[in-house]
Structure 1
């Protein structure tokens, strides 16, 4: 059993626009985060697929990028919606889990790409390889907040 938390939440209103930190956001199944580029159908890689509804990254991965590769990234720079702490994201592919009161399903790992490297101007592909986060499908509607628990669902 594990229990983590939401460290920060980030949305971007358009493709390539800087992310904005917010203290809460509404998640809508089949659509994404209200106000985010993919919810607005303006994301760079937009396809109407569940894997584009929500992205997460571990705060520990961002910290490791600095420690191991000297790549300094602000929490929103990896362009993932939710930064977590103490959550084993790589182990959540194919599994349901809870963010606050919202149920989500891990779809696949979210490896860093050359687009992200171009936006940050940093060698993020090497620094975040195999720890670039998780793409997830939103299963229930609700609001998540910074500080919310991230847990395995109660059976």
Structure 2
């Protein structure tokens, strides 16, 4: 059985705003991360009006490492536009499954689809390289406070 860790937490107060690193975050069940664009209402995030579960988004640090190793492209955790960066968590296998992040309980929604917006804001050609590795959109079932270093495991 796998066990992963949370590495980074990032939020943005509105669409197109820079991502800000957080040392803790409060996840609110059925809402999102306190202070993040998707928790603030349907008009503040680029994809907020599309039907989806996007209370919190995750991406694997292994994806960032593969971009650097295989394509010589450095993409930092604040650039990828996902809220949480993980290590040793098989996100593609968590669609429809519940898992713990510290004291929080999440449920995997759909895999995130990369779009050209990421190329525009980073000035890097990465959209196509992120196909099937662009992260996971999740629902917050049980909220709580999270911190980098928290364990991630199946429920």
Please classify the TM superposition score into its range, dividing by the shorter chain length: over 0.9
User: Counterparts of 1:39-54 in structure 2 under 5 Å?
Assistant: 39-41=39-41, 42-47=44-49, 51-54=53-56
Aligned to 2:33: 33
- Give the structure-1-normalised TM-score: 0.94
- Contact 1:5-1:87 at 8 Å conserved across structures: yes
The alpha-carbon distance between structure 1 residues 25 and 49, as it changes in their structure 2 partners (threshold 3 A), is: farther
Deviation for aligned residue 1:149: 0.2
Aligned to 1:24: 24
- Contact 1:58-1:85 at 8 Å conserved across structures: yes
Aligned to 1:93: 95
Q: Which runs of 5+ in 2 are unaligned?
A: none
Aligned to 2:65: 63
- Contact 1:9-1:82 at 8 Å conserved across structures: yes
Whole-angstrom distance in 2 between the partners of 1:123 and 1:11: 23
Q: Which runs of 5+ in 1 are unaligned?
A: none
Whole-angstrom distance in 2 between the partners of 1:116 and 1:77: 8
Deviation for aligned residue 1:111: 2.1
Q: How large is the RMSD of aligned CA atoms in angstroms?
A: 1.3
Q: 1:140 aligns with which of 130, 139, 142?
A: 142
* Pairs aligned (count): 153
SS of alignment partner, residue 37 of structure 2: coil
- Give the structure-2-normalised TM-score: 0.94
- Contact 1:117-1:125 at 8 Å conserved across structures: yes
| Residues 94-122 of structure 1, C-alpha deviations (whole Å, 9 max, x = no match) | 10001001000001111211112211111
1:104 aligned to 2:106?
yes
| Residues 36-75 of structure 1, C-alpha deviations (whole Å, 9 max, x = no match) | 1111121111138561101000000011111112221111
